Amino acid sequence: MDITTENVLLVGSLLLLISILAGKTSYKFGVPTLVLFLAVGILAGSEGIGKINFDSPQLAQFIGIVSLNFILFSGGLDTSWKTIKPVLWQGVALSTLGVLFTALAVGTFVWAITDFTIFEGLLLGAIVSSTDAAAVFSILRSKNLALKSNLRPTLELESGSNDPMAYFLTIAFLGLVVNQDQGVLSIIPLFLQQILIGLALGFIFGKLSKMIINRIQLDFEGLYPVLAIALMFIVFSATDALGGNGFLAVYLSGVYLGNQDLIHKKTIMRFFDGLAWLMQIVLFLTLGLLVFPSHVVEVLGLGIMVSVFLIIVARPLGVMLSLSPFKMKMRRRWYVSWVGLRGAVPIVFATYPLLAGIEKAEIIFNIVFFVSLSSVLIQGTTLSTVAKWLHVALPEKVKPVSPVDTFLSDSTKSLIREITIPPDNFSVGKRIVELHFPRKAIIAMISRDDKFLTPNGATQLEENDTLIVLLEDKKSLEGVYESLFLNPDHMVEEENI
């Protein structure tokens, strides 16, 4: 079936519905949703029952870039600086040196056992060097499995930040394949340019985005996520135009914004969380439609060798070398090695050789697809089992969630205080977002002129307002008084527990 304007919405919506239902079912059996989304795409493709003719690497790459922007930005928004700070350098080492060592190991192996040139082998290694965490954490959540120590934030940080490094290596080695007169040393200036510009612009654009979101006055709350989308694409495109790594800049700007006080922050984060899932489904479906299963079968033998080498040798080697300067128990290093799932990102990167028209582009694409699929099937379905074998798992007890628990989900609030704003106070006329309230405190309501208001970040405080504040502990209360420039000794308060 050919995709036309008349049927694209019907076909697309049906595929989305089938993917969501398949993904829901997959939780019960421990199968990563990635596999189901790809399977739906393959079945709907030209060699499947759907017979949809789709053979456009250009469109697939465009969809991939757009989707990765949403996925990386959403991942950045959800990243807590307080959580990742203790494991910052471990995560950075894994997402840079770990990716590099993995790419070099796989590339050398492919060069040794095939007729690939060394640069073609390194290109393949670079494409499969990054990990995908979406399937990992969906499995862990479905099994109610927590991880000991700082394993989870380490894996989150690595998976969210290693795509830029893999992208750089892919572009660099592709350039060496196309321009064989260049040497390996020629990629060093490109690396420094990509990383330094990406880091700088990610932070600068993050600060500018915060100023724009907080200072602009929009009439509708629903426009703030739209504004965030526009800013996200500006970050990516501007950084890329200036020679930096756009994916790195998008992720860093997301991390920065996620740890700042923003107007309608929860609305923005929930919107991007849902949109990131949509982008993942669309991306996996597109890649499933693009692949020809019969062509993958032709490279089955080589694909198995590369996949086994990646899982057993290359990934553990990259992890061990990159984490060698840090103190970490060996069984935890082995688990980090096992959580090296290859997902949709390598398949997206595999479209770059196709568009460049290099000789072995199709072989590389099919090998990458098989490696990604086998990695998810083998490692993804055994994450909880391996965690228990290595004694790094902490089972979580499932408790019923009440509406009150949901309302207080940001942290455990145990105190309620009524704080009245006196005349001529610093906070009068200020918006709540400008007060930098402690993260463990929530203004639940405001009593003003015998009426109760439900505040948001844009709400301006007025004199004699009474704030009903939910707090976790006494320390948070001190932070609230500091934010309001109030002296606790002179405040009249009521306590309700």
Cβ-contact 74, 273 below 8 angstroms: yes
**pLDDT tens-digit map of 196-237:** 999 999 999 999 999 999 888 887 888 889 999 999 999 999
pLDDT tens for the chain, 497 residues long, are 555 555 667 777 777 787 677 656 555 555 566 677 778 888 887 777 877 777 788 888 898 899 889 988 988 888 888 888 888 999 899 999 999 999 999 999 999 999 999 999 999 999 999 887 565 555 555 555 667 778 888 887 888 788 889 999 999 999 999 887 777 787 888 889 999 999 999 999 999 999 999 888 887 888 889 999 999 999 999 999 999 999 999 999 999 998 888 888 888 888 888 888 888 888 888 888 888 888 888 899 999 999 999 999 999 999 999 999 998 889 999 999 998 888 778 888 999 999 988 888 999 999 999 998 888 888 877 887 888 898 887 765 544 444 444 444 444 445 788 888 888 887 888 887 777 777 777 788 888 887 888 887 778 888 888 888 887 777 777 788 877 877 765 444 444 43
Can you give the length of the chain in residues?
497
The rounded distance, in Å, linking the Cα atoms of 371 and 351 is 15
The rounded distance, in Å, linking the Cα atoms of 146 and 367 is 33
Secondary element (H or E) of residue 467: strand 466-471
**pLDDT tens-digit map of 35-65:** 777 788 888 877 778 777 777 888 888 988 9
CATH number of 8-395: 1.20.1530.20
CATH number of 403-496: 3.30.70.1450
Which pTM does this prediction carry?
A: 0.79
The rounded distance, in Å, linking the Cα atoms of 180 and 158 is 32
The rounded distance, in Å, linking the Cα atoms of 361 and 346 is 14
Secondary element (H or E) of residue 197: helix 187-215
**Domain definitions of the chain by residue range:** 8-395, 403-496
